[in-house]
């Protein structure tokens, strides 16, 4: 994913997140998105990041970040303890995506999932013509060295949610690098997909104290 495309996705996310939200960013990297959310939306944020370098960089931005493996789950967080749980450009590297998504819906009132769409026409064309796995801009690696082991399309994610009764609240699709937002045929035209899902606690009657 190009820097420009990443920035466009960040713009979308910053736009979506409400002012003063409590945010958990899973796979927060160097914390750039969290820092923007805090600066531009007054969010109270915390991150989880696997790499030591990412944790160092995020702490250098003044953020609170816990080094850890998302695939271990989010057991320490209470139900509905965040307004937003964000999983941006990390889904494709998870070993246990279902576990993580379930946990996101448990601890977040809203969950946001952003991932590269492998249904894009260029990826399909590439596979059809060359017989090789695509290396589109958002997937810079070859099959043997990519951390992105979960390759999925917009259609895949929609049916995943449909099968599990997960409520998709919003979808935003982006083309790279021009930042167009195709509404028709997104699975063919968008490089990046951003889904907003309703957390479990939203649909449930609030527990009395």
Least distance to other proteins from the beta carbon of 71, Å?
14
Distance CA 97, CA 70 (A): 9
Least distance to other proteins from the beta carbon of 141, Å?
23
**Of 71 and 76, which CB lies nearer to other proteins in the complex structure?**
76
How far from the centroid of its chain's Cα atoms is residue 22's Cα?
Answer: 16
Query: Which tokens belong to 25?
Result: 């960013």
The CB-based long-range contact list for 56-64 (8 Å cut-off, 24+ gap) reads 57/29, 57/30, 57/31, 58/28, 58/29, 58/30, 58/31, 58/34, 61/30, 61/31, 61/32, 61/34, 61/35, 62/35, 63/28, 63/31, 63/34, 63/35, 63/38
Least distance to other proteins from the beta carbon of 100, Å?
16
**Of 63 and 190, which CB lies nearer to other proteins in the complex structure?**
63
**Of 42 and 203, which CB lies nearer to other proteins in the complex structure?**
42
Site map (CB under 8 A) of other proteins, residues 103-142, x = contact: ----------------------------------------
**Of 62 and 165, which CB lies nearer to other proteins in the complex structure?**
62
In contact, 30 and 57? CB cutoff 8 Å: yes
- Compute CA distances 14 → 19, 32, 122, 164, 198, whole Å: 9, 11, 28, 27, 17
Strand pairing category for 168-174 and 108-116? unpaired
Q: Which of 17, 25, 33, 46 binds other proteins (CB under 8 A)?
A: 46
Scanning residues 51 to 110, which ones bind other proteins (CB under 8 A)? 52, 55-56, 59-60, 62-68, 75-78, 81
Region of 185 on the Ramachandran plot (φ > 0 left; ψ -120 to 50 alpha; else beta): left
Scanning residues 1 to 20, which ones bind other proteins (CB under 8 A)? none
Least distance to other proteins from the beta carbon of 86, Å?
17
**Of 38 and 161, which CB lies nearer to other proteins in the complex structure?**
38
Least distance to other proteins from the beta carbon of 29, Å?
15
Least distance to other proteins from the beta carbon of 47, Å?
9
Count residues binding other proteins (CB under 8 A).
18
Query: Which tokens belong to 41?
Result: 């939306």
Residues that bind other proteins (CB under 8 A): 46, 52, 55-56, 59-60, 62-68, 75-78, 81
């Amino acid at each position: 994913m190009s820097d420009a495309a990443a920035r466009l996705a960040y713009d979308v996310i910053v736009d979506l997140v409400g002012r003063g939200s409590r945010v958990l960013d899973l796979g927060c990297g160097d914390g750039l998105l969290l820092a923007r959310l805090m600066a531009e939306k007054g969010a109270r944020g915390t991150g989880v990041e696997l790499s030591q370098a990412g944790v160092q960089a995020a702490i250098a931005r003044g953020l609170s970040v816990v080094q850890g493996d998302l695939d271990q789950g989010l057991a320490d967080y209470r139900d509905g303890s965040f307004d937003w749980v964000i999983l941006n450009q990390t889904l494709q590297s998870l070993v246990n995506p279902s576990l993580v998504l379930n946990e996101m819906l448990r601890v977040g009132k809203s969950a946001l999932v952003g991932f590269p769409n492998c249904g894009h026409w260029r990826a399909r064309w590439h596979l059809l013509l060359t017989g090789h796995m695509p290396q589109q801009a958002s997937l810079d690696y070859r099959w043997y060295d990519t951390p992105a082991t979960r390759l999925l399309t917009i259609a895949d994610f929609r049916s995943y949610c449909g099968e599990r009764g997960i409520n998709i609240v919003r979808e935003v699709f982006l083309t790279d690098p021009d930042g167009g937002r195709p509404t028709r045929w997104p699975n063919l035209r968008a490089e990046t997909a951003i889904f907003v899902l309703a957390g479990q606690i939203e649909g449930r009657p609030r527990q009395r104290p």
